[in-house]
Amino acid sequence: MRVLRRGDAGPDVAEIRSILAGMDLLPPVTGTDEEYGTFDVAVEHAVRAFQQRRGLMTDGIVGPATFQALKGASYHLGSRPLSYMIASPVHGDDVFTLQERLTELGFDAGRPDGYFGPATERALKTFQRDMRLTPDGMCGPATIRELHRLSSPRARGGRPVFLREQEQVRQAGPRLRGKRIVIDPGHGGDDLGVVAGGLREADIAWDLARRLEGRMKATGMEALISRGPNHSPTELERARFANDAGADLFLSLHSDGNRSTRAQGIASFHFGTGNGTTSTVGELLAGFIQREVAARTGMLDCRTHYKTWEIFTRTRCPAVRVEIGYLTNPDDARKLGDPAFRDIVAEGILIAVKRLYLLGEGDQPTGTFTFADVLAHELAKAE
């Protein structure tokens, strides 16, 4: 699909307006067909509201990710049959609701991501067998009736899939040796990312990834980089790389840019929908990274945020994306252009990962734990 923004017109814009009106983000259509198919200021504001609500990039532009989310939002559980399709997985709010409902009932549908994949199919078939329905993996009227029948008010516990994340971290122990981490330097190849002041985001991310990789390997961790220096995988390909590798954690490294040169600082992101569904380990790690790097570098702390980016929804392990500085800000750019500064950032991220696995054991104040402390701790635990 073409990217749609203010000033565009046509039937695809009319479809977007219809979906937004159905969510009460736009008033019902009363104008002419020409007005209905115009991407005006009201549509842009409605798109921004939708993006903010869904944890998407809030830019008021309808690109592939926003369009897919808009289409998915037009479905509710029961509005269409659902089944697993290998070539093109079914996606939408109805799938997300099904996944959450199955999980709440004790059937492991995996991370709720709105994609009808193998884990959802397995959970659905198990549910159907237990309910003495035909276990065909098709969520049709009979299955919907059983799900509604069991949806009476009930005490709800934690989110099992994310509780399992926490338990896996606890059982993994405080040592870093043997942990498998995928480091994902953003962009790459022909995709340079933000370019400003003689610096290119793809180059900064690649250099930082290599520095982090070296430190992680020195502790005994298995560090894997998701791309080569001249390759730019899609977000889905990066997620598949981590899934195929059986990664324990996924760290995506980026820098940012803005039309205003005053925009600056570091921000960290993790999976979350804003309605209580969040990766608890991802949120915890994002917080550790945010505090460690901000304390060590003096960069403005722009806090942690939940998002539903594809890199989060399609990665099975806890994942964090870090936006380290703005290349369009003179102070941030000066810092990022200094290799010694990138060493400090790499050490801060490593310390944050160590803190995650320490779970408070022998912890130290933010910004004081060093790489040497990590190596000493690893050695002590090995004895």
Give the mean pLDDT of 58-83: 92
Q: What is the pLDDT of residues 150-191, one digit of tens each?
A: 865 443 444 666 677 888 888 888 889 999 999 999 999 999
Provide the pLDDT confidence category of residue 7 given band limits of 50, 70 and 90.
Answer: very high
Domain boundaries 82-151, CATH class: mainly alpha
CB 107 within 8 A of CB 127: yes
Q: What is the pLDDT of residues 84-132, one digit of tens each?
A: 987 788 999 999 999 988 988 888 888 788 899 999 999 999 999 999 9
**Does CATH place domain 8-74 in 1.10.101.10?**
yes
pLDDT at 88: 83
Q: Quick check: 322 pLDDT over 90?
A: yes
Q: What is the pLDDT of residues 324-352, one digit of tens each?
A: 999 999 999 999 999 999 999 999 999 99
pLDDT at 157: 42
Q: Do domains 8-74 and 82-151 have the same CATH topology?
A: yes
CB 20 within 8 A of CB 29: no
Give the mean pLDDT of 272-296: 89
Q: What is the mean pLDDT of the chain?
A: 90
Give the mean pLDDT of 222-228: 97
How far is 316 from 99, CA to CA, in rounded Å?
15
Q: Where are the domains of the chain?
A: 8-74, 82-151, 176-381
CB 296 within 8 A of CB 352: no
How far is 53 from 22, CA to CA, in rounded Å?
15
Give the mean pLDDT of 36-50: 91
Cut 0.85: pTM above it: no
Q: What is the pLDDT of residues 255-264, one digit of tens each?
A: 999 989 999 9
CB 381 within 8 A of CB 322: no
pLDDT at 228: 94
pLDDT at 37: 84
How far is 200 from 125, CA to CA, in rounded Å?
49
pLDDT at 360: 67
Q: Which fold has domain 176-381?
A: Aminopeptidase (3.40.630)
pLDDT at 260: 92
**Conformational region of residue 139, where left means phi above 0, alpha means psi within -120 to 50, and beta covers everything else:** beta
pLDDT at 155: 38
Q: Quick check: 192 pLDDT over 90?
A: yes
Q: Quick check: 25 pLDDT over 70?
A: yes
pLDDT at 153: 46
Structure tokens at 140: 């049709």
Which residues, 6 or more positions from 182, have their beta carbon under 8 angstroms from its beta carbon? 224, 225, 226, 241, 242, 245, 247, 249, 250, 251
How far is 23 from 264, CA to CA, in rounded Å?
34
Which residues, 6 or more positions from 84, have their beta carbon under 8 angstroms from its beta carbon? 90, 116, 117, 118, 120, 121, 137
Residue 95, burial from CB neighbour count under 10 angstroms (0-12, 13-18, 19+): buried
pLDDT at 149: 85
pLDDT at 161: 67
Strands 199-200 and 195-196, by their bridges, are antiparallel
pLDDT at 100: 86
Give the mean pLDDT of 58-68: 92
Q: What is the pLDDT of residues 345-376, one digit of tens each?
A: 999 999 999 999 987 666 677 878 888 988 88
CB 78 within 8 A of CB 91: no
